[in-house]
């Protein structure tokens, strides 16, 4: 298997590529630790990932959560104004 320097695990991660903020800079993934890279692309339960990585149980304290309607259309969520999130 040939290793390439062009591999980018984040290449197709964001669904709203057309709406990227203008001031968003390119990120060189090679400057991150393996742990940081994994956190950037994980699409599952982050808590379980960190527990598996550290081999320690993590206690979570939820500071708050509520369901509210969007006040404007949100391209990143692909949701329209008034959608409940």
- pTM, two decimal places: 0.47
Domain count for the chain: 1
Whether 2 maps to a domain, the answer reads no
Model confidence pLDDT, tens digit, residues 32-83: 888 888 887 787 788 888 888 888 888 889 899 999 999 999 887 889 999 9
Whether 58 maps to a domain, the answer reads yes
Whether 5 maps to a domain, the answer reads no
Contact (Cβ atoms closer than 8 angstroms) between residue 37 and residue 28: no
Q: d(Cα 41, Cα 53) in Å, to the nearest integer?
A: 15
Q: What angle do CA 26, 12, 9 make, to 5 degrees?
A: 70
Determine the distance from the C-alpha atom of residue 55 to the mean position of all C-alpha atoms in its chain, rounded to a whole number.
22
Whether 16 maps to a domain, the answer reads yes
Whether 65 maps to a domain, the answer reads yes
Q: d(Cα 38, Cα 10) in Å, to the nearest integer?
A: 10
Domain that holds residue 44: 10-85
Contact (Cβ atoms closer than 8 angstroms) between residue 8 and residue 17: no
**22 compared with 64, residue with greater pLDDT:** 64
Whether 71 maps to a domain, the answer reads yes
Whether 42 maps to a domain, the answer reads yes
Whether 1 maps to a domain, the answer reads no
């Amino acid at each position: 298997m040939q290793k390439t320097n062009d591999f980018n695990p984040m290449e197709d991660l964001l669904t709203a590529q057309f709406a990227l903020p203008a001031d968003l800079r390119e990120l060189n993934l090679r400057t991150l630790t393996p742990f940081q890279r994994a956190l950037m692309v994980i699409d599952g339960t982050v808590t379980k990932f960190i527990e598996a990585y550290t081999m320690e149980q993590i206690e979570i304290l939820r500071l708050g959560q509520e369901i509210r309607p969007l006040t404007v259309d949100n391209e990143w969520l692909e949701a329209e104004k008034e959608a409940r999130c």
